[in-house]
Amino acid sequence: MDNNQMNKYDVVIVGGGIAGLSAAHYLKQEGLKIKLIEADKRVGGRMKTDNVEGYLLDKGFQVLSTAYPECQKLLDYDALELRNFYPGAKVYHKHSFYQFADPFKKPIDSLRKLNNPLSNFGDKLKIVALRNRTRRLSIEKLFDEKEMPTIDFLREWNFSDQIINSFFKPYLGGIFLEPDLLTSSRMFRFVFKMFGKGYAALPKNGMEAIPRQLAARLSEDELLLDTEVKQVSNGRVTLKDGEEISTSIVLVATDAFTASKLIPSFTKQVSMNSVRCLYFTADEPLDKQAILYLNGNNQGWINNIVVPTSLQKSYAPTGKSLISVSVIKPCNLTDTELYIAVRGELRAWFGDEVVSQWIHLKTYSIENAVPSQPTISYPKEKEIKPVEKGIFICGDHVHDSSINGAIRSGRITADAISWHLALTINQ
Give the residues lining the site for ligand FAD (CB under 6 A). 14-20, 37-40, 45-47, 60, 62-63, 228-229, 253-255, 258, 275, 366, 369-370, 395-396, 401-404, 406
Q: Quick one: 314 or 402, whose CB is closer to ligand FAD?
A: 402
> In the bound complex, what is the minimum distance in angstroms from residue 118's beta carbon to ligand FAD?
23
CA distance 316 to 337: 26
Instruction: Identify the CA nearest to 67 among candidates 200, 181, 212.
Output: 200
Cβ atoms < 10 Å from Cβ of 299: 8
CA distance 425 to 5: 10
> In the bound complex, what is the minimum distance in angstroms from residue 239's beta carbon to ligand FAD?
8
Q: Quick one: 118 or 294, whose CB is closer to ligand FAD?
A: 294
Q: Quick one: 192 or 350, whose CB is closer to ligand FAD?
A: 192
CA distance 403 to 82: 15
DSSP-assigned beta bridge partners for residue 88 = 101
DSSP-assigned beta bridge partners for residue 254 = none
Cα atoms in the 13 Å half-sphere on the side-chain side of 373 = 28
DSSP-assigned beta bridge partners for residue 116 = none
> In the bound complex, what is the minimum distance in angstroms from residue 426's beta carbon to ligand FAD?
31
Which amino acid type is present at position 104?
Answer: F
> In the bound complex, what is the minimum distance in angstroms from residue 101's beta carbon to ligand FAD?
20
CA distance 181 to 394: 26
Cα separations in angstroms, 390 against 193, 202, 246, 264, 379:
36, 38, 12, 14, 19
Going across the sheet that includes 64-65, the strands are: 64-65, 200-202, 83-84
> In the bound complex, what is the minimum distance in angstroms from residue 107's beta carbon to ligand FAD?
26
Q: Quick one: 118 or 207, whose CB is closer to ligand FAD?
A: 207
Binning the chain into helix, strand and coil, the percentages to the nearest 5 are 40, 25, 40
> In the bound complex, what is the minimum distance in angstroms from residue 205's beta carbon to ligand FAD?
16
> In the bound complex, what is the minimum distance in angstroms from residue 2's beta carbon to ligand FAD?
29
SS3 303: coil
> In the bound complex, what is the minimum distance in angstroms from residue 211's beta carbon to ligand FAD?
8
> In the bound complex, what is the minimum distance in angstroms from residue 357's beta carbon to ligand FAD?
27
Close Cβ partners of 222 (under 8 Å, ≥ 6 residues apart): 24, 28, 34, 35, 36
Q: Quick one: 68 or 153, whose CB is closer to ligand FAD?
A: 68
Q: Quick one: 9 or 98, whose CB is closer to ligand FAD?
A: 9
Is residue 321 within 8 A of residue 284, CB to CB? The reply is yes
Q: Quick one: 370 or 412, whose CB is closer to ligand FAD?
A: 370
Q: Quick one: 38 or 147, whose CB is closer to ligand FAD?
A: 38
Q: Quick one: 119 or 273, whose CB is closer to ligand FAD?
A: 273
Close Cβ partners of 353 (under 8 Å, ≥ 6 residues apart): none
